[in-house]
Structure 1
Amino acid sequence: MNMQAVQNFYQNIIDKEKKKLHPLKKKIFIVAILRLLVVLFSIILCYLNWNNRILVGAIILISLLAFILLLKFHNKLFYKKKYSLTLIKIANDEYKALHYDFTPFDGAPEYIQTEHSFSYDLDLFGDRSLFQSINRSITSFGKEYLAHLFLSPYLDKSTILENQESVRELAAKQEWINHFRVLGSLNRNTEEGRFNVNTMFNDKYLLYKQRFWEIMIYLIPAFYIGLSILCAFQLASTLYFIPLWVLTFSINAFSQKHVMQIVDTVSKKSDKLSTYSSLFKAIEKQNFESNLLKNYQEALKKSTAASAAIDKLNRYCSQLNMGMAYPMVLLFNPVLCWGVRYAIKIERWTETYRTHLPYWFDTLAHFDAWNSLSTFAYTHPDYCYPKINTKHFIFEGKELGHPLLDRSLCVTNDVTIAREKYFLVITGANMAGKSTFLRTIGVNHVLACIGAPVYAHSLEVFPGNLVTNLRTTDSLADHESYFFSELKRLKMIIDRLHSGEHLFIILDEILKGTNSEDKQKGSLALMKQLISLNGNGIIATHDLVLGTLEQNYPKNVKNYSFEAEIINDELSFDYKIKEGMAKNMNATFLMKKMGITGID
């Protein structure tokens, strides 16, 4: 598959759904007219036959039935219309994303953490971020889990490969993924952010497991049945129903406080759960091949399917609410002990399924996140799935590029770190591509370790912990200078290496916050310490003195560079990495071009 095929896929969805909309809108209009005509004809016929009460009653009954059927048909048509419109929006948003417009998607700026090991340096969150380009989650659970993957990529080869397998399979199920996204969009709960699965139901029961009420829900209806039988055989007077009703009404009155408490709390929670029922059902009914997908699917089907269990709770809540409405409350409660009966059913449901809820929503979160990654895989058919190696250390890629750069403009580069205690030192002119190259390495490492495809012709990685220092900031709140913040970052790296962690280290311009002489001495000392502690990584610098490390540590350091050329008094960059140290620098040239005088 190529990019044109991907664009055609989404364009075909737009065209197909737009063709559906015209007849749907026409049907909706016709049904609305028919509903109006039913009401008008009913009024006219009732007026003409007002003296015939039986006929008037029949007309009203038939008209009401016809109106209800037309209303249900109208709601079904309206749902289809909303479904088509939502699918068109999804396809349009993806079409924009194919042209690097990610504004329709949430970049999760709330997850920006300046102290994180690498996410802030790599621009993983926020506007125009990697997360925004990938995130297609339709639940807060899915978004949270996807963000967790970005912040804490997997370090275990088998886990990464399992996720790769899941993403591969789902990438081939785009119609199902789009259906899943539409269902989530149509049923999106505005209160979702405050929805806590673990505290949704408590274990304190108001009526359930109370022996008195468990007897009453059977005993009270039995009294009425018994009295009805006696009356039928003329062994008792029907007047006995009056004191019986007063007695049972009084008994039920004692439960009303607890019943209403259950109505007020559980009914609202049931409504929230019902918004996810269609998503659970979509997962339950789909056929999956990969072990990870099947295992999570089984978590929904264990004992009773999640969607069926939620539907059952909805029925209980509906029946309970119906029994609480007038005038049914005057009949159902005293005769059938209706409120207590369904309150107990609801509390029994919570005991049975309360512990299932975290597993259900964990499954939903995983599928929601995997769907985002699989959509990313589908819309980037030229990307590859990296090979995961347990050899420490290896990061070897061919034609690596940054996924946020337009593929038609992005210059790709190769990189090889094939053993431990090994660093690439990259020198080069301003704007020549050093920082972009470092972020390209870091971003593709993150993608590789979460099971996603990477922007490369090929990539082999060891899934070690990534640590970067590309964008150190000072902190006025903590009274920290820029230099002190950088030292803290470097100390964190040293401490983690001392503890035995396998780190992949990416640094840009070490010790930027101090003078040249201190910077040179400190940078050389730091590099020697990182090598001695089995560190691995890439260092970018303007300081050519670091290039001398290759002479002293030929087995541990390799020099590369990004060059700039001045052609016809204009800077020219090819953004290709080359072996050896940089020969051309451009700071003074740029200052002259900007009109800053006094430079020879």
Structure 2
Amino acid sequence: MKKSMTKYYKERLVEEEASLAELEKKNSTTSNIRLFAIIAGAVLLYFLFKTSAIIAFGAILGILTGFYFLVRYHESIQEKVELKKVLIDVLRNELEVCTGGKNKYAEGTDFYDEKHDYTADLDVFGNFSLFHLTNRAKTRLGQKKLANAFLETHKSEIIQKRQAASKELLGKTIWRQCFQASLFELSGSSVTELSTLGEPPAIKLEGLIKYYAFLKWIFVGGVAAVFYFYGVTNGMIALFGLLALNYSLVGINKKVTEPYFNKIKGLSRDMAKYKTATQLVLEENWETELLKNAQGLLPVDGKNPIEEFQLISTKIDMKNNQFASFFLYAFSPFDLVQLVKLRGWVKKNPSFFEEIFECLGTFEQFASVATLAFNRPDWTFPELNDDANVSVNAVEIGHPLMPESVSNSYVLSPQNRLSLITGSNMSGKSTFLRTLGSNILLAYAGAPVFAERFALNSEIKLFAYMRIKDSLEQNSSTFKAEIDRIKILLEAMNIEPKALLLVDEMLRGTNSEDKLKGSIAFLERVIKSNSYALVATHDLRMTDIADKYPESSKNYFFEYDAKDGELTFDYKLKPGICESFNASELLRSVGLDV
């Protein structure tokens, strides 16, 4: 698997790097043409001014118009160059991930909750986590949607819809990579800034500014007439008079406009990314329900509102260019005109940003899952059922965060509601519990699982009791933390119809006798409820529960082999009870006489 995916991404990189070289060549040529146009235009104007100021003034307008379109064409090429570079970065990231490197996307540490039912125990968030393995979302909402898929139990109908969306995107590899690239360099704050942008402030003489699109041609025509009838000197006076008027209108509104302009400063860059992403979404015909619904949040008729917003915000950013601002203010109080347009845009599209982020977040969520599925072609999408006789049927299941892990098969059913797992230290007990739990969480998200076959009853609700630690901040001992977690599990058994409890060496914070009594009482409660539990332990006395309740509990074990002082583990789950432990040998290996 790793070799085939590595080969694929290397070939894609060669292909896209060749395409980038062609675009950069075109970009360089266009840049030279721009330089030539500036020089040629300046020379032409020099000779025209010697001939006629009126002709020269008309030529200025013509040259500026032509240069504007040349600049726009050059910018479109530059956008393609930048997008291609980002696409190459996306492919390099996937190559890095497939060769065991670190994913550049967010780890989801801000979703970590130590008190959650299972996320701290099953490595759901943070470095080397399920979220980090899967995440390809850049917007905050996309990350939140993916996180929520791991955080909550879902009915089979919802999971099946998620699988369908993920599979549809799995079949659109190039589209998915381009979509990732469109948002890859998104600044994290832009979503927050846009969602809290609010309506632009009201300005003085707004009624006049609204008509400036029409008035500016009258003013420009008047200036041109002065040049024609009264000569260059008077024409220049008229031109600077128009500039003074426009700058005055800007000046009297500066107190209210400047804070707002600072708020949206630089957003045009991210708007370009959102525009590209939404265009990609709109260009496709989506078949699955979740993707069609997400696409439906975007406008399909008329001009894309995000394109309008980007155009306005780009123009507002242009005012910070001193050279460009002279020409812009020669015709109108430029930024005020754009602000009025922005006010109109906000009134016309009051909930647009909420809808666009909902759409893009949904596509990011399922593009993340689809990328995981693409990178792991040997994994399988789980089968979902409501069969009361089988809750989990896993064939050759492995840990999703350990690509080279040893796989095992396991069935969780009414005949095996309680599994006692014994074994020596480092033999694989805890890893097996996490293996089962992690794959169930991937199934919740509509993702493939690390197994040859994986059938799941979607009513299963996970709870874990594995990493218990004290808290100085909360003045809580390890034993108190264990008692608190046991209370949660007992409540879950009372409330949840199909609670699945993953328990690793319970009550380790007390003496062995109380530990045994408490553990047996807990196991008895599991048997008497409708819950399921996998309990890892070193205490063989707990395995007697399987003899007492053979119709609903079983013993399993992991073992090791000692040869010439070396310990080896096969990490294979076997039915029965472990008969050998290695703690003494491990202690002797570090110098203790035991």
Counterpart of 1:457 in structure 2 is: 452
Secondary structure at the counterpart of residue 126 of structure 1 = coil
- Structure 2 letter corresponding to 1:489: R
Counterpart of 2:164 in structure 1 is: 165
Alignment map for 1:257-276 (pairs within 5 Å)? 272-276=270-274
Q: 1:67 to 1:216 in 2, by over 3 A?
A: closer
* Aligned-pair CA distance for 1:322: 8.2
Counterpart of 1:237 in structure 2 is: none
* Aligned-pair CA distance for 1:214: 6.1
Structure 1 range deviating more: 382-391 or 498-507: 498-507
Q: Distance in 2 between matches of 1:567 and 1:164?
A: 47
Q: TM-score, normalised by structure 1?
A: 0.83
* Aligned-pair CA distance for 1:379: 0.8
* Contact kept? 2:34, 2:70, Cα under 8 Å: yes
Counterpart of 1:295 in structure 2 is: 293
Q: Distance in 2 between matches of 1:268 and 1:28?
A: 24
* Aligned-pair CA distance for 1:96: 2.0
* Contact kept? 1:394, 1:418, Cα under 8 Å: yes
In structure 2, stretches of 5+ residues that fail to align are 226-237
Counterpart of 2:131 in structure 1 is: 131
* Aligned-pair CA distance for 1:75: 3.9
Q: Distance in 1 between matches of 2:63 and 2:327?
A: 24
Q: Distance in 1 between matches of 2:143 and 2:507?
A: 36
* Contact kept? 1:426, 1:434, Cα under 8 Å: yes
Secondary structure at the counterpart of residue 571 of structure 1 = strand
Tell me whether 1:394 sits opposite 2:394 in the alignment: no
Q: Distance in 1 between matches of 2:83 and 2:207?
A: 45
* Aligned-pair CA distance for 1:447: 0.4
Structure 1 range deviating more: 464-473 or 253-262: 253-262
Alignment map for 1:82-121 (pairs within 5 Å)? 82-121=82-121
Q: Distance in 1 between matches of 2:249 and 2:7?
A: 68
Tell me whether 1:478 sits opposite 2:474 in the alignment: yes
Q: Distance in 1 between matches of 2:79 and 2:318?
A: 25
Counterpart of 1:352 in structure 2 is: 348
Counterpart of 2:277 in structure 1 is: 279
Deviations 1:267-303 (A, max 9, x none): 7666654441211111111221112111111111367
* Aligned-pair CA distance for 1:103: 4.5
Q: Distance in 2 between matches of 1:583 and 1:322?
A: 77
* Aligned-pair CA distance for 1:195: 1.4
How well do the aligned residues superpose, as a CA RMSD in angstroms?
Answer: 4.1
Alignment map for 1:508-527 (pairs within 5 Å)? 508-527=504-523
* Contact kept? 1:474, 1:481, Cα under 8 Å: yes
Q: 1:510 to 1:574 in 2, by over 3 A?
A: same
Q: Distance in 1 between matches of 2:133 and 2:372?
A: 8
Deviations 1:203-233 (A, max 9, x none): x9737xx9x96699579979x99xx9xxx9x
* Contact kept? 1:421, 1:533, Cα under 8 Å: no
* Aligned-pair CA distance for 1:130: 2.0
Total equivalences in the alignment: 569
Q: 1:292 to 1:323 in 2, by over 3 A?
A: same
Tell me whether 1:437 sits opposite 2:432 in the alignment: yes
* Aligned-pair CA distance for 1:368: 0.8
* Contact kept? 1:394, 1:420, Cα under 8 Å: no
Structure 1 range deviating more: 105-114 or 427-436: 105-114
* Aligned-pair CA distance for 1:478: 0.7
Deviations 1:512-566 (A, max 9, x none): 1111111111100011112223221211111111110001111221101001122
- Structure 2 letter corresponding to 1:280: T
* Aligned-pair CA distance for 1:363: 1.4
* Contact kept? 1:157, 1:388, Cα under 8 Å: yes
Q: Distance in 2 between matches of 1:248 and 1:279?
A: 37
Q: Distance in 1 between matches of 2:81 and 2:210?
A: 45
Q: Distance in 2 between matches of 1:340 and 1:406?
A: 58
- Structure 2 letter corresponding to 1:90: V
Q: TM-score, normalised by structure 2?
A: 0.83
Deviations 1:168-197 (A, max 9, x none): 110111100111111112x523533x7155
* Aligned-pair CA distance for 1:346: 2.8
Counterpart of 1:571 in structure 2 is: 567
Q: 1:516 to 1:127 in 2, by over 3 A?
A: same
Q: 1:51 to 1:401 in 2, by over 3 A?
A: closer
Tell me whether 1:503 sits opposite 2:502 in the alignment: no
Deviations 1:330-379 (A, max 9, x none): 8646xxxx887765543232123222321221111111111111000011
Q: Distance in 2 between matches of 1:303 and 1:41?
A: 42
* Aligned-pair CA distance for 1:109: 2.3
Q: Distance in 1 between matches of 2:494 and 2:576?
A: 31
Q: 1:323 to 1:548 in 2, by over 3 A?
A: closer
* Contact kept? 1:98, 1:379, Cα under 8 Å: yes
* Contact kept? 1:10, 1:91, Cα under 8 Å: yes
* Contact kept? 2:309, 2:345, Cα under 8 Å: yes
In structure 1, stretches of 5+ residues that fail to align are 233-240
- Structure 1 letter corresponding to 2:516: Q
* Contact kept? 2:121, 2:465, Cα under 8 Å: yes
Q: Distance in 2 between matches of 1:436 and 1:319?
A: 56
Q: 1:496 to 1:28 in 2, by over 3 A?
A: same
The correspondence for 2:408, drawn from 401, 406, 413, is 413
Q: 1:304 to 1:490 in 2, by over 3 A?
A: farther
Q: Distance in 2 between matches of 1:30 and 1:271?
A: 24
- Structure 2 letter corresponding to 1:163: R
- Structure 2 letter corresponding to 1:565: D
Q: Distance in 2 between matches of 1:215 and 1:35?
A: 36
